[in-house]
Homo-oligomer: A and B are copies of this chain.
Amino acid sequence: MRTAFYISDGTAITAEVFGHATLSLFPVDFKHITIPFVETIEKALEVKAQINACCRGAGEKPLVFFTFVNPELSDIINTSDAKCYDFLNTISGQVQAELNVSPVPRTHRTHSIHEKNYDFRIDAVNYALANDDGANLKDYAEADIILIGVSRCGKTPTSLYLALQYGIKAANYPFTEDDMDELKLPRALVPYRKKLFGLTIDPERLAAIRHERMANSRYASLRQCRIEIREVEMLYKNHKIPYLSSTHYSVEEISAKIIAETGLERRKY
């Protein structure tokens, strides 16, 4: 199997995201190796030796996606027995021409604790945990958004993703049978109607997820899931609450759709 390396003087997250997106275009399996925090000549020479050994062992060149601020480190990796893609520099020259501004490279300019609003993101994670699953009804004034839905429709992972990736304070509230009487909004949510966003899910998928958690229970039965989903969707419609189905979407996709639909302010790019 061909090997792809992702190498950086920082986390290598940028190299991974870009390299992974590029390689996913091709119907080829790769072995992935990430080497972050290559910050010295010595370490870069070690990595070069590792790449060269990989090339000798496999009989073909590994692909290397890298980002370095220090050009001495780039030069070392570029002279290894690999196909190296210095993808950031390829485009930054074009951007420089357009902006007519010289780049001022700094290490750890992305994904570091010095990024704008880093502390806010961690606060948002703590907020999401404290306000998960209806655990706390008092702090909804502080929420940017309140995700609502039946148990196991995807509220918790989405709340955490919104917090970690975007610094959005997301509470979540699970509808239970008690809430469903007459399809009224629970009293704690009424003052925050504008912040509500509903999730729904196909009853079959919901039943499968609940079975994993509590096999053969009434809670996991398809009949129960169908009833709950029908009621919760009626509630969304009656109260004109925006909602989407999580059935076919990842947390990344659900989060992107919620932000696009609500215009929520993100605190991280």
Q: Which residues of A contact B (CB under 8 A)?
A: 2, 10-14, 16-18, 20-28, 32, 34-37, 61, 63, 67, 83, 85, 87-88, 90-92, 94-96, 98-99, 101-105, 108-113, 115, 118, 122, 125-126, 129, 132, 156-157, 160-161, 164, 248-253, 256-257, 259-260, 266, 269
Contact = CB atoms under 8 A, between A and B. Distances in A.
B103 A25 contact: yes
A88 B36 contact: no
Contacts of A94: 83, 85
Contacts of A102: 26
A104 B27 contact: yes
Copies in the complex: 2
Nearest to A25: B103
Contacts of A11: 252-253, 256
A101 B27 contact: yes
Contacts of A251: 122, 164
B164 A63 contact: no
B92 A269 contact: no
B260 A36 contact: yes
A20 B131 CA distance: 31
Contacts of A95: 22-23, 25-26, 63, 83, 85
A37 B75 CA distance: 38
A17 B14 contact: yes
A21 B99 CA distance: 15
B88 A20 contact: no
13 contacts: A13-B252, A13-B256, A16-B269, A20-B269, A25-B104, A26-B104, A27-B101, A32-B269, A34-B266, A36-B260, A83-B98, A108-B253, A126-B156
Contact of A122 (B99, B108, B157): B157
A222 to B, nearest CB: 20
B37 A250 contact: no
A36 B164 contact: no
Contacts of A248: 113
A67 B94 CA distance: 17
B160 A26 contact: no
Contacts of A99: 2, 26, 28
A110 B36 contact: no
A112 to B, nearest CB: 5
Nearest to A4: B269
Contacts of A83: 94-95, 98
